[in-house]
Amino acid sequence: MERRNFIKNAAASGMAMAGIGSVFGATASESVMSNEAKFKLKYAPHLGMFPEHAGKDPIDNIKFISDHGFRAIFDNGLMNKPPELQEKMASELNRLGMDIGPFVLYADFSAESMVLFNDESRKMLKERLQLGIETYKRTGAKYALMVPGRYNQKLDWGYQTANVIDSMRELSEIAEKEGMIIVLEPLNKRDHPGLFLTGMPQTYAICRAVNNPSCKIVNDIYHQQITEGNIIPNIDQSWSEIAAFHIGDNPGRKEPTTGEINYKNIFQHIYKKGYDGVLCCEHGKSQQGKEGESAFIKAYREVDSFEV
């Protein structure tokens, strides 16, 4: 607090105005304070969110994200990065005290991966899981995202559901032994027609049937606004099975405040429920260039300004 007050007072008296900028074009005092202030929740930009300010290097991006108050990142493609880079990223995140959100373990939107749980798909999914476990051991990223794939147009829906449950039971038992958690993501039918998993109640029922702490939900609020709305009640009903969130406003799938979703109220609700996990910023930017990157940060400052 003494250091913070010194800088603030110096800026107010004109001593620290030169050479200190803000991505918002604010005063030096506002810049220092905004850069140091940590967000209440662990909003997690992905590593390609700030190319104009941070370049393309993942480590530089992690530093930039941390410098602007974010306490987490997410990287859907983490599992595909070279092991050396994975370890380097993990080291930097540990140094900065940052968390990392779910990475994509398996998401083939063209295959009936789990609804027809046969020997071939069982073998493929186990092999994929093993690769994910190796990534987790190198990075500490314990949440791995899976999508069950497409539904089958011939097999009764009840049998398909049972196959998904059996698949997730087998995979979750393996993941649990390693300390990893698989998160299932329901996706909306408009953007991804033909997929099996679409709703929070459906995913909740599957997780309860699997009955394993390594089978949980990532609640993508953008998708669920399109599929069913009723966001806060669905969060409450599914709370015991939610392990992570994805963020994106609707329409447009851009940063909060650009669409119809009242993220400020949602985040306040999640915060008051005691959530301390990651909320992945899985969306685009409403503006291009440095201005768009600045608008992104400003939007999260706005929706994080809820009362506690």
Q: Which residue in the list 92, 185, 241, 293 is annotated as catalytic?
A: 185
155-164 contacts: CB < 8 A, separation 24 or more? 155/115, 155/116, 160/115, 160/116, 160/196, 161/206, 163/114, 163/115, 163/116, 163/117, 164/114, 164/115, 164/117, 164/196, 164/197, 164/206
Encode burial over 217-251: b for 16+ CB neighbours within 10 A, e otherwise. bbbbbbbbbbbbeebeebbeebeebbbbbbbbbbe
Token pair, residue 100, equals 């990392």
Distance of CA 238 to the CA centre of its chain: 17
Residue 185 among the catalytic residues: yes
* φ, ψ at 283 (rounded to 5°): -155, 170
Given the residues 92, 255, 282, 293, the one annotated as active site: 282
Nearest to 253 by CA among 222, 230, 281: 222
Distance CA 63, CA 56 (A): 12
Distance, in Å, from the CA atom of 82 to the CA atom of 138, rounded to the nearest integer, reads 11
The catalytic site residues sit at: 185, 282
